[in-house]
Structure 1
Amino acid sequence: MNPNVESLVKSIHHQAADPLCAYIYDLVGIQQHAAQMVKTMPEQTHLFYAIKANPNKRIIKELLPFVKGFEVASIGELLKVREVSDQVPILFGGPGKKEYELEMALEKNVSFIHVESLLELKKLCFLAKKKEKTISVLFRMNIRSSALPKTNISMGGRPSQFGLDEPLLREAISIVKSEENTHVHLRGFHFHSLSNNLQADLHVEMVNHYIEKVKQWEKIYQLNVDIINAGGGFGVSYDDTPQFDWHRFTTGLGNSEAFGKLGDKQLFFEPGRFIVANYGYYAAEVVDIKQAAGQFFAVLRGGTHHNRLPASWRHNHPFAVIPFGKWPYPFERPEVRNTTVTIVGELCTPKDQLHENAEIEQLRAGDVVVFKQSGAYCWTISHHDFLGHPHPDFYYVTERTNHEQNHHSTEKQYS
């Protein structure tokens, strides 16, 4: 457990009148992690943050000095980035861009639009010419290849709503090369074939395959490409599976034969989860412990309406228990010792579960369960207003603990 987070939880609990329920984001940890990622990256590679993982504006702001820019998938996300910076480069993706979104992208100085279909490309050519705005695009490609790693979430290499099917590439190129198109410029290609890959060596092979594909297309279609966006998909393990080895990936990529043939092309990466997941914490107080048919349940002030990731991915989310001695009632305090407990939320649904049959040494009503690795796809994807329960509070660790003085700096924001 991060000592800054544990100290903060204790401070919040001490001051709170109601059962504790909060997200804590370690902004210093996020910055240090991003800086270390960039430090190991080969020349000609650039790091973007895909804000879909966590679009919190404080996180976007803290990442500004460390990333090349941000990847967005909606106008809402685009405007969040522009509230933080009106100049930082933005990549705009997503399979269902509407006309007003394309117009807004032109107005808000988006650096690259990831074109996902022939219709989207035709609309963009029409709108750019009408508004007399030039725009650079990357064709997002759904390539048919057995060279792609297999993960639980695949977005390419199979029938999918994402990207241009590879056989349509010739037609897409003919559109941008036509005399009618005067404002849309093809700068390269975008690939995002999978999510949450944990195998660094296979990721190197996949990126090398992208590079080789682009070189083939350059020759076939007489193109001059200067950008290859290799997407994200860098995994985070929520169990005992080894974590993705970023240093192994960047070293292997930099030493690979395909990368050595990159020429003057720039290679983009746009991870989201991998940058922020390990630096967010969801803390929820135990409000009840009950038994049914020989099984124990710990009911939290909170649940999947705040942190939907465990239910969405059907996994047991890692956690720690912070015990609290105070018990304000004159009757016995419910507790369990040396047994298994299923940790659930306050919703009226059996799917409101965060960890099934967790091995517990001791857990009592009034203790706080802190779910680690809750910085990505936790609060963001949750059904916040189901049943009308209050939202959690949000806190930010902005300085590392000075162990000699035993203090830390935090900031609080209400949702």
Structure 2
Amino acid sequence: MENESRKKKHLTFGGCDTIALAEKYGTPLYVMDEQKIRSKCREIQENFLGKYENTRAVYASKAFLNMTMCKIIESEGIGLDVVSGGELFTAIQAGFPTQDIIFHGNNKSYEELSLAVKYDVGRVVVDNTYELEMLQKIAKSNKKKVRILFRIAPGIEGSTHKYISTGQKDSKFGIPLAEDQLNHVVAFALKASHLELMGFHFHLGSQLFENGIYVAALDVLAKLMKDMKERYGFVSKELNAGGGFGIFYVEGDQPKPLRYFTDQIMEKVKTICHEMGVPIPQVIIEPGRWMVAEAGLTLYTIGAIKDIPGVRTYVSVDGGMPDNPRPALYSAKYQADIANKMNLEKVQKITVAGKCCETGDILIWDLMVPPVKSGDILAVYNTGAYNYSMASNYNRLPRPPVVLVNEGIDHVIVRRETYEDLLHREEVPMYLQKKVKESSEII
């Protein structure tokens, strides 16, 4: 009877009692449901890879990456999109097949590109002339031929927050469709001895709910592909349409199934190629947030409660901005529940405050919950994307662990940081060490 009572009161996630997880691992705690991730991978297989020939999907790993995630993605037959040397190194250490990696980024360093060339990364998405020339030199010195795509800024703006919009004309990403710039890089790539141009890439932003923006971008790319064919005889072998498919966070969000986007993309690409009389290129998508956001949950313990009569009730938790900077960065919104009071009516309005010394450290405004007390466990939903990956040690707070749950079984995949971890890279100059010693002797 006691277990049945707990089940009614407690939130379960991935077959696990979240209160038991909080008791076992402490809070704040990131929890990731493996089966939710795998179900997204299988949706990609069923509605895109298995539905259309010559297609490819890669996971945009900046959303959530560690070696365990690499293993899950590899086992599902999905490639990997990385944007830094650190992400690439993680994939290499996890044994991820480097030929299935696409390397993005608007300012890749010499060291990062050298790592990509050394380990035979499948594609490098070139963002600018500086990178293009540097990559040719690196590839030549290593006696290797590197396959590349050019990232294009198509001049298309999506309906999303300006900080996660990337396809507009005024973007830090991609090569503008100004004739002189584009022709220069294409001509350079086609003549380069150690580069092979495969095609083009665009990415329009994140949290996009309409497919029309992809069609508009493909119209732009059609003109580009036609011009490249006429001018250079170059026919694109690959076309990367990026990701950005929106997910549910709060009421009002209207996410669509993957096929809503991919069917429209494929139909448009086929039409373009038929009109141009060229073969359909391999079409690539790069979902990230869409694959992991809903697979994540963050657990917090409620501490101080501050009631301002007639104004607001602030409920503080043991995390905040360092483990989830998204509300402070771009007013991201979340839904949450009191995980140990799932059977009670929501009658109290609260504002969830983080513990950082920042007025802006507010996780959720005006959340309806049952009567709340210190010691309750707050569960914030859909935190699988950009929470762990953007976490910091602001205010010297150790970063939370990550626990993977799978049908009632839990595994630590990233351990909790300790105070000692905060100091392990620090060094005090010898002359200051001496002064500290003398000062302590005086005391």
Same fold (TM > 0.5): yes
| Cα deviations by residue, 1:49-90 (Å, 9 ceiling, x for unpaired) | 011011122122111122441111111100111112252411
Match for residue 298 of structure 2 among 282, 288, 291: 282
Alignment partner, residue 350 of structure 1: 359
Identity %: 24
Alignment partner, residue 336 of structure 2: 319
CA distance in 2, matches of 1:253, 1:161: 25
Q: Which is helix-richer, 1 or 2?
A: 2
CA distance in 2, matches of 1:290, 1:6: 34
Alignment partner, residue 48 of structure 1: 58
CA distance in 2, matches of 1:150, 1:390: 35
Alignment partner, residue 339 of structure 1: 348
CA distance in 2, matches of 1:36, 1:250: 12
CA distance in 2, matches of 1:138, 1:337: 52
Instruction: Give, as a single letter, the amino acid of the residue that structure 2 aligns with 1:379.
Output: Y
CA distance in 2, matches of 1:13, 1:155: 38
CA distance in 1, matches of 2:242, 2:346: 46
Match for residue 90 of structure 1 among 87, 101, 114: 101
CA distance in 1, matches of 2:58, 2:318: 35
Match for residue 250 of structure 2 among 233, 239, 260: 239
Instruction: Give, as a single letter, the amino acid of the residue that structure 1 aligns with 2:283.
Output: L
Instruction: Give, as a single letter, the amino acid of the residue that structure 1 aligns with 2:347.
Output: N
SS in 2 for 1:350: coil
CA distance in 1, matches of 2:273, 2:142: 40
The answer to whether the 8 A contact 1:198-1:244 is kept is yes
The answer to whether the 8 A contact 1:60-1:84 is kept is yes
CA distance in 2, matches of 1:171, 1:14: 60
1:380 CA displacement: 1.2
* Superposed counterparts of 1:170-189, under 5 Å: 170-178=183-191, 181-189=192-200
* Superposed counterparts of 1:117-196, under 5 Å: 117-144=128-155, 148-152=157-161, 153-167=164-178, 168-178=181-191, 181-196=192-207
> What is the count of residue pairs matched by the alignment?
390
SS in 2 for 1:219: helix
TM-score, normalization by structure 1: 0.87
- Kindly indicate whether residue 326 of structure 2 is the aligned counterpart of residue 309 of structure 1: yes
1:110 CA displacement: 0.7
1:260 CA displacement: 6.5
CA distance in 1, matches of 2:303, 2:374: 5
The answer to whether the 8 A contact 2:346-2:368 is kept is no
Alignment partner, residue 412 of structure 2: 412
1:324 CA displacement: 6.3
SS in 1 for 2:17: helix
- Kindly indicate whether residue 279 of structure 2 is the aligned counterpart of residue 263 of structure 1: yes
CA distance in 2, matches of 1:30, 1:211: 34
SS in 2 for 1:64: helix
Evaluate the alpha carbon distance shift between residue 353 and residue 5 of structure 1 in structure 2; reply closer, same or farther with a 3 A threshold.
farther
CA distance in 2, matches of 1:47, 1:245: 16
- Kindly indicate whether residue 401 of structure 2 is the aligned counterpart of residue 393 of structure 1: yes
Q: Which range moves more in the overlay, 48-57 or 64-73? A: 64-73
CA distance in 2, matches of 1:65, 1:204: 32
Alignment partner, residue 313 of structure 2: 296
Instruction: Give, as a single letter, the amino acid of the residue that structure 2 aligns with 1:395.
Output: V
The answer to whether the 8 A contact 1:197-1:203 is kept is no
Evaluate the alpha carbon distance shift between residue 171 and residue 259 of structure 1 in structure 2; reply closer, same or farther with a 3 A threshold.
closer
Evaluate the alpha carbon distance shift between residue 5 and residue 264 of structure 1 in structure 2; reply closer, same or farther with a 3 A threshold.
closer
Alignment partner, residue 374 of structure 2: 365
SS in 1 for 2:388: coil
1:6 CA displacement: 7.3
- Extract unaligned runs of 5+ from structure 2: 1-9, 417-443
The answer to whether the 8 A contact 1:27-1:59 is kept is no
Q: Cα RMSD (Å) of the superposition?
A: 2.4
1:194 CA displacement: 2.0
The answer to whether the 8 A contact 1:197-1:244 is kept is no
SS in 1 for 2:372: strand
SS in 1 for 2:235: coil
The answer to whether the 8 A contact 1:208-1:258 is kept is no
Evaluate the alpha carbon distance shift between residue 173 and residue 222 of structure 1 in structure 2; reply closer, same or farther with a 3 A threshold.
same
1:2 CA displacement: 7.1
CA distance in 2, matches of 1:101, 1:81: 13
The answer to whether the 8 A contact 2:16-2:405 is kept is no
Alignment partner, residue 28 of structure 1: 35
Alignment partner, residue 332 of structure 1: none
Evaluate the alpha carbon distance shift between residue 245 and residue 337 of structure 1 in structure 2; reply closer, same or farther with a 3 A threshold.
closer
Alignment partner, residue 80 of structure 2: 70
The answer to whether the 8 A contact 1:47-1:270 is kept is yes
| Cα deviations by residue, 1:159-215 (Å, 9 ceiling, x for unpaired) | 22211122211111221233xx31111111111132221113443454465355424
Evaluate the alpha carbon distance shift between residue 274 and residue 211 of structure 1 in structure 2; reply closer, same or farther with a 3 A threshold.
farther
The answer to whether the 8 A contact 1:90-1:111 is kept is yes
TM-score, normalization by structure 2: 0.82
The answer to whether the 8 A contact 2:147-2:198 is kept is yes
CA distance in 1, matches of 2:61, 2:139: 26
CA distance in 2, matches of 1:87, 1:353: 41
The answer to whether the 8 A contact 2:338-2:369 is kept is no
CA distance in 2, matches of 1:141, 1:337: 48
Q: Which range moves more in the overlay, 268-277 or 301-310? A: 301-310
